Structure 1
Amino acid sequence: MPQPESSIWGNILTCAEIGLHVYGMMAEHNSGIVVDADYAKEVLSEEALQAGESQGDHIYFDDAKSIIPAYELLKKDAITDPEFKEWCGSPEKLAQDGEFFAPEYFGGMTPPATTPWGDITESQEFYNGISMVNHDGEWALAVHQTIANHCLSEMAQEVAAGQENYLFFPLDACSIPVYELSASHPAILEQIINEDSLVHTLCEDHPVYVTMHNLHVEEWGRIYDQPAPRSLFLQIQLDQEARFPVTEQYEKSPQFHQDSTSLRERPDNFFEPTEEPEW
């Protein structure tokens, strides 16, 4: 069966054979692995087939789901392209990454059992591989290393303490991972109850991070300090503050930037080009 000449993802930009009847495709709206339908039914499990989208003579596995056929084909030594084979690594590595990209097939990430400071006595799961854990009355944000590798910057990981497959961030040192994970995980964005407190904490505790961040984003996405309490951007922090008050004194001052916007919103006057001329 020849390689596909059209795609459910729009115009094909590149398409290379990475195995017999197996193609790595990059198209206008998505990318992933495309497998000849008849061949796929011979070599892939029923569970893997259900993860793809069938159209015409091929089955399409998008960017996230492509790890499923890659895993099964690699185990059968059906991947022949050396570069793609090297990128895949071992089936074990793909299975580990699959817990993040396709937990419905590979299974979710095992929750942490202990922290660098002691055993976990209580936990609140936010998302697969992300949770709040309690040790000796102290809460910390736990992030699986696989998620950290894909979603967190090096600066975020530097402030963590590692234990087995997890990174742990104490409540007073979790502003960077919360900020970054809120961009990729809506479940984390929902946990933020005070965005001004989050940006103030970032500016107060991590000025170098804020400077580097602002250098690489557009004006509307930059972080500007706000008059707000430090480390009271999560409900669990607020609950802890209510139990053990440690009031931080701050005053509203002109030095604070007054044009700050919601973390994930553009300002109303953000200019976005249209097809019509602006007179």
Structure 2
Amino acid sequence: MSPVHIDKTYPMWFYVPGGLVFLILFIVPTVLSFYYAFTRWTLFDATFVGFDNFVTFFSEPGLIGSLVNTLIYAFVTSGSKVVLGMALAVVLVQHIWARGYLRSLTFFPVLVSAVGVGLTFQVLLNPTDGLVNAALGAVGIDGPRWLVDPDIALLTVAAIDVWKGIGLATLIYIAGLVAIPQEYYEAARVDGASAWDIFRTIMLPLSFPATSTVIILSLIGGLRSFDLIWTTTQGGPGFASDVIASVIYKQYQAGFYGLSTAGNVVLFIVVTAIIYPLSRWLNSKEVVL
């Protein structure tokens, strides 16, 4: 009997639709943005200006402050999602009452539009008429000026971001925890391990792939964050909660399209410079089951 010939190129055709979408919606716009960053452009023409856009962008008076705010925002939201996501996942993988309902409740904010969340919290956190401060005042606590106090505005928006994104982090951790073989837990219990010992020696190290995923996704989202910040504070009060993305948007609003494109290129490079080496390092630390 002659051997059966297998066409190994056939499965590659399944990559074509996704590859075309990726090419058209990501690769082409990215390449074009690098070109237009060196031009002064409108919808009708483009004039090459070399590095002028980048020089102007880096001379922005609030750039350093917005970069610091971006890093603070990204690392605060990412770290909070890692810690809280793991804590919630550990609870929600246990056999507790209404576990399915609690999982759905935790994930629900992820499904809500960031613009809708921002506008809702802008109303709830109003320092004079907001429901949050009204509730605090009912128990004798003078609520802060959440979104209009320069000292806490950025952290307030970060807290809203954590509330919205914690469900996805929890879901990723749940998937990571349920993938751990039950034999490890049984062996630990036979050896008399406490709940803390099981968490420290089994759950924490063996769910590291989930931790890596949450860190990377949260950092990318935090470094690129714009919609939630813009709908809550618009970078204010003053420039207290300005991030790189909001600075870029303000330039676009003013009609400086080439300048805003250069800003997007800078943001792309910043995100890549942070995420790529971090991703490589995290992947090298993963534990193979």
TM-score by length of 2: 0.20
Higher share in strand: 1
TM-score by length of 1: 0.20
Of structures 1 and 2, the one with the larger relative CO (CA 8 A, separation 6+) is 2
